[in-house]
Amino acid sequence: MDIIGHLRTVNAHRKLVRKGCFKVGLYWQGLTHDLSKYSPSEFFVGAKYYQGFRSPNNAEREDKGYSAAWLHHKGRNKHHYEYWMDYSSQNGLGIVPARMPDKYIVEMFMDRIAASKTYNKENYKDDYPLKYYMKGNPRRYIEENTRDLLVKLLTMLAQKGEEECFEYIRTKILKGRPGAMLAQFIAHRKE
């Protein structure tokens, strides 16, 4: 069990998400991102399976066949597309993905960047979050509009970098939101 290593990883990851969210104006989401990781049901499992180069949820899943920490986490954090699964009102469809609000898609995008930076450290490149997403291929479990926006942002990041991608998020996706307008003002004052 590596409590210190896991705590450092969680804190580093949250700091990166916070930084990204603040740049686009999602201040509350940046502050509250992944707080459930400090709950006993997630934290101690994370410390037990800590490896430092990948999510401890994957190691728990390999050991037990499922990850109790992940099941707890995704049910409490709206920036995971798995949170947005519901029963369809149409007979016979069963459980289907629901459209995520844009602010949570953007937080999910920031989460993917932060995870890639956390685990790849100095080797990180802007195309890593897209490659990781494509490797997982969640096509069946993510609502079409949600998927399209996430892939668009991941592709833009890979091709144009953070600065241009974050500007697009502030001005096109989150436009009109007070936090995005404040972030836009701050970004332009730095120029």
**pLDDT tens sequence across 149-188:** 999 999 999 999 999 999 999 999 998 777 766 776 676 6
Q: State the amino acid at position 115 in one-letter form.
A: A
Q: How far is residue 64 from each of residues 47, 102, 122, measured CA to CA in Å? A: 16, 34, 32
Lowest mean pLDDT among 18-22, 28-32, 135-139, 160-164: 135-139
Domain count, the chain: 1
Provide the 10 A C-beta neighbour count for residue 30. Answer: 21
How confident is residue 1, by pLDDT bands cut at 50, 70 and 90? confident
How confident is residue 94, by pLDDT bands cut at 50, 70 and 90? confident
Higher pLDDT, 26 or 176: 26
State the burial class of residue 128 (Cβ atoms within 10 Å of its Cβ: 0-12, 13-18, 19+): buried
Tokens coding 99: 């459209």
Share of the chain above pLDDT 70, in %: 95
Instruction: Give 3-state DSSP helix, strand, coil % of the chain, rounded to 5.
Output: 70, 5, 25
Single pTM value for the model:
0.88
Query: CB neighbours of 153 closer than 8 A, spacing ≥ 6?
Result: 105, 106, 109, 165, 168, 169
- Taking 90 as the threshold, does the pLDDT of residue 189 lie above it? no
Its domain, for residue 119, covers 3-189
* Unique residue bearing structure tokens 């997630």: 42
Tokens coding 134: 């494509």
3-state secondary structure of 106: helix
